[in-house]
Chains A and B, each alone.
Chain A
Amino acid sequence: MTPSSAASGLPGSPSGFSRETKIFVAQFDSLGAVREFVGLAAEACGFDAKGIYAVELATDEAFTNIVEHAYGGESNDWVECTCQASQNSLIIILHDCGQAFDPTGVPEPDLSAPLEQRETGGLGIYFMRKLMDEVHFSPAPLNSDGCNTLTMIKRRELTA
Chain B
Amino acid sequence: MEITTVHYKHCELVKATGRIDSQTAPQLAEALDAITNAGHFKIVIDMSEVEFMSSAGLRVLINTQKNCKRFNRGEVILAKVPQRIYEALDLAGFIPLFTFFDEVTTAVGHF
Contact = CB atoms under 8 A, between A and B. Distances in A.
A60 B93 contact: no
A115 B69 contact: yes
B50 to A, nearest CB: 12
Given A61-B55, A111-B92, A124-B54, A29 B23 contact: yes
B3 interface: no
B66 A111 contact: no
Nearest to B69: A115
Interface in B43-102: 52, 54-56, 58-59, 62-63, 65-66, 69, 84, 87-88, 91-93, 97
Given A118-B97, A123-B58, A123-B92, A28 B66 contact: no
Nearest to A53: B84
A135 B52 CA distance: 22
A120 B65 CA distance: 12
B40 interface: no
Contacts of B56: 64, 124
A100 interface: no
Interface residues of B, number: 22
A124 B21 contact: no
A109 B91 CA distance: 11
Given A35-B52, A111-B92, A130-B91, A118 B23 contact: no
Nearest to A118: B62
B63 A120 contact: yes
B49 to A, nearest CB: 16
A113 to B, nearest CB: 8
Interface of B: 19, 21-23, 52, 54-56, 58-59, 62-63, 65-66, 69, 84, 87-88, 91-93, 97
12 contacts: A31-B21, A50-B84, A57-B88, A109-B93, A111-B93, A112-B93, A116-B66, A118-B97, A123-B55, A126-B91, A126-B92, A127-B55
